[in-house]
Amino acid sequence: MDFAGKTAAITGAGSGIGRALARKLASDGCNLALSDISEEGLAETATLIENQHIRYVTSKLDVSNREAVENWAEATIIEFGGIDLVFNNAGVTVVDNVNSMTYDDFHWVMNINFWGVVHGSKAFLPHLLGRRQGHLINISSLFGLVTVPGQSAYNASKFAVRGFTEALGQEVRGKGVGVSCVHPGGILTDIAKNARFKRSFSGKQTAEEFSNTFDALARTTPEQAAEVILDGVVKNKRRILIGSDARLLDRLQRLMPVSYGVFLNKVFLLTSKKKAKRVV
């Protein structure tokens, strides 16, 4: 796929992978419909692409609001005359254990991470199918492949995105529309800093320590992630793994489908201790 002259719709474009996708696509000559809950983040993204010779529109959007997403999709299609690429990227997390997690926090994660993807997919899908062309890209996670304690809501949402997207891909096969599910590993974004931190699995880790541990494990930049995603779109990959950690743990889960969690817990514990020593 040549992105020049195409149009892409991106949720969560105010930071992280969404912003990196916007910048890369803009440099390739792709027009953009950018949305995010953060108007400040959107404005920062806009300043980074404003010198590119493309058309772009920014919109404040809560992806958990079905009507708002449907209105955004309709307005975007009217504005640009059509959409070629849809990136359902917006995501959040909460750090807590199942027993202590409130339903409000669980709903918050599911409404954005899962229902936001469903809303975006269903809003644009009739248009893509009607044109018999285009590509739908839904962002899951490494934690849509493996689970970790303290991230049950996030795990649930990202496994749900994976199941939904893979089923959708089977349904539209042969109808001209590509569908990809993306599984990023540790990406240096602000998702950990912006998490609702209530309680770590051990009960001993603070919000700052959790964020530091995440940053220590994250090896891939958003820009690198965007490159891999777009390469996967060009190659029409149904599953796109980002980072050596995602590729390694994908293989580990296949080899040790039950006991991989023991290995992961040891890695997280060791990383946390090393980070704590550096701080001291």
In angstroms, how far is CA 273 from the centroid of its own chain? 28
- pLDDT cut 70: percent of the chain above it: 80
Residues 6+ apart with CB under 8 A from 105: 94, 96, 153, 196, 198
Domains and CATH numbers, the chain: 7-279 (3.40.50.720)
Greatest Cα pair distance, the chain, in angstroms, is 59
Residue 266: what pLDDT? 66
Predicted confidence (pLDDT) at residue 199 exceeds the cutoff of 60: no
**276 within 8 A of 216, measured Cβ to Cβ:** no
Distance CA 195, CA 90 (A): 13
The secondary structure of residue 268, as a DSSP letter, is H
* Confidence band for 249, pLDDT divided at 50, 70 and 90: confident
Residues 269, 273, 278: CA angle, nearest 5 degrees: 150
* Residue with tokens 């005359």, as numbered in its chain: 81
Distance CA 111, CA 68 (A): 13
* Confidence band for 185, pLDDT divided at 50, 70 and 90: confident
Residues 6+ apart with CB under 8 A from 165: 117, 121, 138, 140, 179, 180, 181
pTM (2 d.p.): 0.86
Distance CA 55, CA 25 (A): 12
In angstroms, how far is CA 137 from the centroid of its own chain? 9
* Choice between 192 and 166, residue whose per-residue pLDDT is larger: 166
166: left (phi over 0), alpha (psi -120 to 50) or beta: alpha
- Active-site entry in 56, 103, 154, 260: 154
CA distances from 117 to 23, 54, 181 (A): 22, 26, 11
Predicted confidence (pLDDT) at residue 268 exceeds the cutoff of 90: no
Predicted confidence (pLDDT) at residue 214 exceeds the cutoff of 60: no
For the segment 110-168, what is each residue's pLDDT rounded down to a tens digit? 999 999 999 999 999 999 999 999 999 999 999 999 888 888 999 999 999 999 999 99
Q: Is the dihedral of CA 272, 212, 19, 111 positive or negative?
A: positive
Residue 276: what pLDDT? 41
Average pLDDT over residues 199-213: 54
- Catalytic: 260? no
Burial grade of 31 (CB within 10 A; 0-12, 13-18, 19 or more): buried
Taken as a whole, the chain contains a residue count of: 280
